[in-house]
Amino acid sequence: MLDTKPKKGWKFRVHEIIYEADTPLGKWFDILLFILIIISVLLVMFESVKWIDATYHRTLLVLEWIVTILFTIEYIARIITIKKPWKYIFSFYGIIDFLSTIPLYLSYIFAGSQALLAIRAFRLIRVFRILKLVQFLGEASQLKKALKASRAKITVFLFAVLIVAVILGTVMYLIEGEEAGFTSIPTSIYWTIVTLTTVGYGDIAPITAQGQLIATIIMLLGYGIIAVPTGIVTAEMGKSGDGTKKPAEEPYVHVNTQACTTCAREGHRDGAKYCFNCGSEL
Amino acid sequence: MLDTKPKKGWKFRVHEIIYEADTPLGKWFDILLFILIIISVLLVMFESVKWIDATYHRTLLVLEWIVTILFTIEYIARIITIKKPWKYIFSFYGIIDFLSTIPLYLSYIFAGSQALLAIRAFRLIRVFRILKLVQFLGEASQLKKALKASRAKITVFLFAVLIVAVILGTVMYLIEGEEAGFTSIPTSIYWTIVTLTTVGYGDIAPITAQGQLIATIIMLLGYGIIAVPTGIVTAEMGKSGDGTKKPAEEPYVHVNTQACTTCAREGHRDGAKYCFNCGSEL
Amino acid sequence: MLDTKPKKGWKFRVHEIIYEADTPLGKWFDILLFILIIISVLLVMFESVKWIDATYHRTLLVLEWIVTILFTIEYIARIITIKKPWKYIFSFYGIIDFLSTIPLYLSYIFAGSQALLAIRAFRLIRVFRILKLVQFLGEASQLKKALKASRAKITVFLFAVLIVAVILGTVMYLIEGEEAGFTSIPTSIYWTIVTLTTVGYGDIAPITAQGQLIATIIMLLGYGIIAVPTGIVTAEMGKSGDGTKKPAEEPYVHVNTQACTTCAREGHRDGAKYCFNCGSEL
Amino acid sequence: MLDTKPKKGWKFRVHEIIYEADTPLGKWFDILLFILIIISVLLVMFESVKWIDATYHRTLLVLEWIVTILFTIEYIARIITIKKPWKYIFSFYGIIDFLSTIPLYLSYIFAGSQALLAIRAFRLIRVFRILKLVQFLGEASQLKKALKASRAKITVFLFAVLIVAVILGTVMYLIEGEEAGFTSIPTSIYWTIVTLTTVGYGDIAPITAQGQLIATIIMLLGYGIIAVPTGIVTAEMGKSGDGTKKPAEEPYVHVNTQACTTCAREGHRDGAKYCFNCGSEL
């Protein structure tokens, strides 16, 4: 932020508000955006409930238009104030933003495209960007670290679970007939995972004695192996917990919420003068 | 308890019995109150069971009146014997006590207000006050400490679970039609949480192949992430467990069950002469 | 076992075989008894399955009589060879042994008393006595120690779960009507525990929007608090695991499977000459 | 691999490709085999789905024949290139390979033997052999070590769960009648395990008040004891995690994926010249 004059144009100030959360205005913008996203998601939900849609159709449509226009303004502002617009447009958030703005316009061209409004739910992921502001950052990063460290173990585990599900699902298909709902091997595998994870819908359930015996074995297996991912994450979390006690050993710098004005990349270290990604001045 | 004369009036003695549990009489009062609360809750339960209410309606009503009168006496005694009655009346327990005493009287003025009797269940929370007497205090406080320490992590976790539920619930609503029970997005989100937490009622269950595939992913996700809160609490509990080994490092005093006669605040240290909250003599 | 002559009568030898597992014959007796118990339990199971009972009624009855006569012989032998028979007769195993021997005789006097045969399932507990022989002893005792150490914490936890179930069950009863299956408060509490423990039968399920919202909260609550008992036991197990590394610090003696000939009490230390319970010579 | 000439025949080279994964060709063979196995399993799955089988029956049969012929070639190659073919034929993988190759041939002799095609699912276990190639080996072995170390504890635990299920299942059979679905003791035991593991299908559910009370106890029991296996594995995993920090203390050599040309035994240490199992030169 120790920059020179020319940058201090209105574009730069808008960029600072939209993309960053260091200034009071930037914080307010993020909070307002968060509320707007929640409202837009609630609107989509309400429209899907028949009696609400029947009673308040007009109100919902008006609110939908207000949200869409605000989203459109935000989307255009994001494109204008960034130096390399294409980088934003084809970034993950850029695509989500576009897809959550367009459906209402499309619904006047193509019928049924209103269903795309549901994509707005994905904008909720932005909440994590806003959460960065508060104390939760440290917690989330610790969680993420523990999950990342145990990624390989969890992959092996899920692989083993899937193979067990395929084998036992096939066995159940051979034992139980059509009447019990085991109509095909994929359905049987679906049932095996429903049982192994202890979800147990009950839409499909074994009725023969042999089927119930194998179901019992699957349940005990599921009950026993639920311990494995728990053990993995717990052990990892214990380690990462120890790690935080001696931060001096692992080089660690504080990262702020500033975003590059050129490529919109975040996660620059405090006091950084150049974007670590594209090299342009911050 | 090393106080002067004037306080030794009947009000003080009754206060000691009702609000404290240090004296034998105070202990007996707490145990009797606990039994009375359990009886009152059982009465409400029995009244809700149709055949019991039809057969023993008269007996239940008489017992209900006895409990209500005893609660009324207790409530009045609590108000009279405390120095600042309004502090008690508008405290959490004060409101619960009032709401659990009034319904039967109201039922003669407004029909249907008998449903409020169910509020009595909340009085069960008092049980924790009585449990203070026994060895469980230490255990509960350790649990509470571990939960408090992992509060931020659990919030992040629940937030992530909710966002995943909203997104996947919306996806399921688009994939599965009305026939499978996914009638609206809120219902789909409800189903997603039912699946993610491995509850699995089965009142709503996917019937299409794509729906079952996504359901399988949700289940494995739920099975995998159940490890996260467990890991958090376990790691925290392990830490707090270590803490108990060196109690010298964290200053710790024994707390008794005495309550201030002025503001009803509890948790005074042994031998305290003045209330730590309002400063009046104990 | 370094005893004097007079004891070396047949009673003593039979006692050694029946009550102890140190000698080869004693081991064989225990294994045979274990097989006999399993057979007796399987017989009761088969009799309860209609088509098996209809087809093999005669065979099952004959086998039932053989098992009953062998159990009778064992029961009489146990009484004769012990010095203080009443101590055995009124011990936990004594009562189980008596109740699992008597039903077939009673069925000729009172109709329907054959249902008591199911009590034989309790004899399965004896399996743990036989398992003592093998390596599992250490494992089981470690498990038991961890569970014992966390007993108080688990009690507090279960208490809290029950109070939450009563309160939320009552709330659900008021919100959901009869149609959804919430016919009475006890039924609602049953449903709350079914949900909280993530069992989720689906015989009762909320149908109103508010009911589904509260159900969602209960599920997330259940999903979150399942971490608590796991955390407790894991922390405790971690501790007891550490304990086994330095057995020198906690005085520990090896215990054999010998039982006192007078009072049938087990768990004497190796080389003990007198029963630690009744003082009579071993 | 530093061997002498005569071995360098085509048999040796094929053996190296089929049984080992050290050479680039060996790696490619394993990956191709993996893809072929997945395809064969998918074919069996598709055939079991009625509408797919009805529409694409011809295509599926042709693909089935291609897979079967490739499997036959592989099976013959494995027998020819190994020095002691019987060792392979009667090994676990040998039998699986034979059983997954034969069904299509048999289906022309015996009707219905096509169901045996499902055995191909077992070939998926080979995936673990291929996974050896990648980073997952270390993770899997650590998981395996933790599971192996807690084997005895888990056995005791499962035994206790089974005995509890038998006893409580019998009690439920006596309490709940035929109407609730508790038609026999084995069915009741099945239901108890469904409840204890928190699966909860809901095909069988208690309807009497006493039955629901016992069901509640079983659920809380299940909820409480799920902590036990988790605690066991977590504690064990924590230990093995510590072990990896000081690998110098436990002698450890790197193992390659080479298989003996004589006995097909795997797991030779890097640079080994002779099979550790049968002593023949590698």
What secondary structure letter does DSSP report for A41? H
Query: Has residue C225 got a pLDDT over 50?
Result: yes
C23-45 mean pLDDT:
83
Residues A68, B72: Cα–Cα separation, whole Å? 58
Q: For testing the chain A interface, which of D148, D157, D233 should be mutated: the one with the most A CBs within 10 Å?
A: D233
C148 versus D46: the higher-pLDDT residue is D46
Residue (of A271, A278, A274) closest to A253 by Cα position:
A271
Alpha carbon distance A263, A259 (integer Å): 8
Partners for B (CB, 8 Å, 3+ pairs)? A, C, D
DSSP for D153-173 reads HHHHHHHHHHHHHHHHHHHHH
Query: How far is A277 from C163, CA to CA, in rounded Å?
Result: 55
Domains and CATH numbers, chain D: 10-132 (1.20.120.350), 145-237 (1.10.287.70)
Q: Which of A37, A114, A201, A226 to mutate to test the interface with B (most CBs of B within 10 A)?
A: A201
Integer CA distances (angstroms), D3 to C179, D9, D13, D22, D26, in order = 80, 12, 12, 15, 18
Residue-wise pLDDT tens digits, C88-124: 888 877 888 888 888 888 777 776 666 666 677 777 7
CA distance D185 to chain C (A): 5
What is residue D73's predicted lDDT score, i.e. its pLDDT?
92
pLDDT of residue C124: 72
Q: Is A236 on the interface with B (CB under 8 A)?
A: yes
- Residue B273 class from Cβ within 10 Å (0-12 exposed, 13-18 middle, 19+ buried)? exposed
pLDDT band at D251 (very low <50, low <70, confident <90, very high): very low
Size of interface A-C (CB pairs under 8 A): 9
Measure the CA–CA gap between A195 and D197, rounded to whole angstroms.
10
Spatial separation of the C-alpha atoms in residues C216 and C218, rounded to whole Å = 5
Mean pLDDT across chain A: 74
Among C140, C201, C238, the residue with its CB nearest the CB of D238 is: C238
Query: Which distant-in-sequence residues (6+ apart) come within 8 Å of B259 by Cβ?
Result: B19, B20, B265, B266
pLDDT in tens, A55-104: 998 998 899 889 889 989 989 988 888 888 888 888 877 888 888 888 88
What residue in C sits closest to A49 (Cα-Cα)?
Answer: C209
For B146-193, what is each residue's pLDDT tens digit? 767 777 777 777 777 888 888 888 888 888 877 788 888 889 999 999
The rounded radius of gyration (Å) of the Cα atoms in chain C is 26
- pLDDT of A5 over the 50 cut: no
**Residue A202 and residue C201: Cβ atoms within 8 Å?**
yes
Give the list of residues 6+ apart from residue A70 with CB closer than 8 angstroms, or none.
Answer: A36
Q: What is the predicted pLDDT for the residue at B94?
A: 84
Which range has highest mean pLDDT (B93-97, B104-108, D50-54)? D50-54
D171 part of contact set with chain A, CB < 8 Å: no
Burial of C60 (0-12, 13-18, 19+ CB in 10 A): middle
Q: How many C-beta atoms surround the C-beta of residue B258 within 10 A?
A: 23
Q: Is the pLDDT of residue A1 over 50?
A: no
Looking at residue D268, what is its pLDDT? 53
Residue range D81-116, pLDDT digits in tens: 888 888 888 887 788 888 888 888 887 777 666 666
Q: Percent of chain C beyond pLDDT 90?
A: 7
In this predicted model, what pLDDT tens digit does every residue of D135-190 receive, in sequence order? 455 556 666 776 677 777 777 777 778 888 888 888 888 888 777 888 888 899 99
For residue range A140-177, what is the model confidence (pLDDT) as tens digits? 666 677 767 777 777 777 777 888 888 888 888 888 87
CB contact under 8 A, B49 and C232: no
Average per-residue pLDDT for chain D: 75
Measured distance CA(B91)–CA(B89) in Å, rounded: 6
By CA distance, what is B197's nearest residue in C? C223
pLDDT of residue B254: 44
> Alpha-carbon distance B200 to C198, whole Å?
8
For the segment A242-258, the average pLDDT, to the nearest whole number, is 41
Comparing CB atoms, the residue among D45, D115, D233 nearest residue A231 is: D233
What is the full DSSP assignment across A133-185? TSTHHHHHHHHHHHHHHTHHHHHHHHHHHHHHHHHHHHHHHHHS-TTTT--SH
Q: Which residue has the tokens 């057969």?
A: B55
Q: How far is CA B30 from the centre of its chain?
A: 18
**Residue D199 DSSP label:** -
Compute the distance between CA of residue C243 and CA of residue C37 in angstroms, rounded to an integer.
Answer: 36
Portion 34-53 of D in contact with C at CB < 8 A: none
Which of D234, D239, D242 to probe by mutation at the B interface, max B CB count within 10 Å? D234
Q: Please give the structure tokens belonging to residue A1.
A: 């932020």
CB burial of C207-221 (b: ≥16 within 10 Å; e: otherwise) equals: eeeebbebbbebbbb
Task: Identify the residue whose tokens are 């509320």.
Answer: A35
Residue from the list D199, D201, D234 with its beta carbon closest to the beta carbon of B234: D234
Say what the pLDDT of residue C280 is.
61
The identity of residue C213, as a single letter, is: L
A18, A33 contact by CB (below 8 A): no
CA distance B276 to B263: 10
- Say what angle helices A209-225 and A227-243 make with each other, to 10 degrees: 10
Reduce the secondary structure of C160-174 to three states and give it as a string.
HHHHHHHHHHHHHHH
Average pLDDT, rounded, for chain C: 74
Model pLDDT, residue D4: 39
pLDDT at D63: 92
Average pLDDT, chain B: 74
Residues of A in contact with D37 (CB under 8 A): none
A191 touches chain D (CB under 8 A): no
- Report residue D152: phi and psi, to 5°: -60, -45
Q: In degrees to the nearest 10, what's the CA dihedral of B69, B70, B73, B74?
A: -140
Residue A224 touches partner C, C-beta closer than 8 Å: no
Q: How far is D226 from chain B (nearest CA, A)?
A: 12
Helix A50-81 crosses helix A24-48 at what angle (to 10 degrees)? Answer: 150
pLDDT tens column, A191-217 = 999 998 888 888 888 888 889 999 998
* Dist. CA B201–CA B196, nearest whole Å: 12
Q: Report which of A262, A277, A279, A257 is spatially closest to residue A82, judged by C-alpha positions.
A: A262
Q: How far is D236 from chain B (nearest CA, A)?
A: 14
Reduced to 3 states, what is the DSSP secondary structure of residue D23?
A: coil
* B226: nearest CA partner in chain D: D230
Confidence of residue B133 (pLDDT cuts 50, 70, 90): very low
User: C238-248 burial by CB neighbour count: b if 16+ within 10 A, else e?
Assistant: bbbbeeeeeee
Which burial class, exposed, middle or buried, applies to A108 when counting CB atoms under 10 A from its CB (0-12, 13-18, 19+)? exposed
pLDDT at A4: 39
Q: What is the distance between the terminal CA atoms of chain D, rounded to a whole angstrom? A: 7
Please say if the pLDDT value at position D215 is more than 60. yes
Q: Quick one: pLDDT band at residue C66, thresholds 50, 70, 90?
A: very high
C-alpha distances in angstroms, D166 versus B240, D183, D201? Answer: 39, 15, 19
Buried b (16+ CB within 10 A) or exposed e, B22-31: eeeebbebbe
Chain-chain contact of D48 with A184 (C-beta, under 8 angstroms):
yes
Residue D51's pLDDT is 87
Asked if C219 lies within 8 A of B193 by C-beta distance, the reply is yes
CA distance A117 to A103: 6
Residue D273 has pLDDT above 70, yes or no: no
Residue B201 one-letter amino acid: Y
Residue B250 pLDDT grade (very low, low, confident, very high; cuts 50, 70, 90) = very low
Give me the pLDDT at residue C63, please. 92
pLDDT tens digit sequence for B42-81: 888 888 888 888 899 899 889 988 988 998 998 999 888 8
The encoded tokens of residue B175 equal 């994939």
Q: Which residue out of D123, D161, D197, D225 would a mutagenesis test of the A interface target, given it has the greatest number of A Cβ atoms within 10 Å?
A: D197
Partners of A153 on chain D (C-beta within 8 Å) are 139, 142-143
User: Which residues fall within 8 angstroms of residue B84, CB to CB, at 6 or more apart?
Assistant: B262, B263, B278
Residue B31: C-alpha distances to residues A281, D50, D181 (Å): 72, 67, 42
Q: How far is CA A209 from CA C103, D159, D187, in A?
A: 28, 21, 8
Q: Please name the chains neighbouring A, where neighbouring means 3+ C-beta pairs under 8 angstroms.
A: B, C, D
- Interchain CB contact of A219 with D (< 8 Å): yes
Smallest Cβ–Cβ distance between D230 and the set B198, B199, B230 belongs to B230
* Ranges C160-169, D37-46, D225-234: which has the least confidence: D225-234
Residues C38-65, mean pLDDT to the nearest whole number? 87
Task: Tell me how far apart the alpha carbons of residues D84 and C88 are, in angstroms, rounded to a whole number.
Answer: 62
Q: Does the distance separating the beta carbons of D159 and C139 come in below 8 Å?
A: no
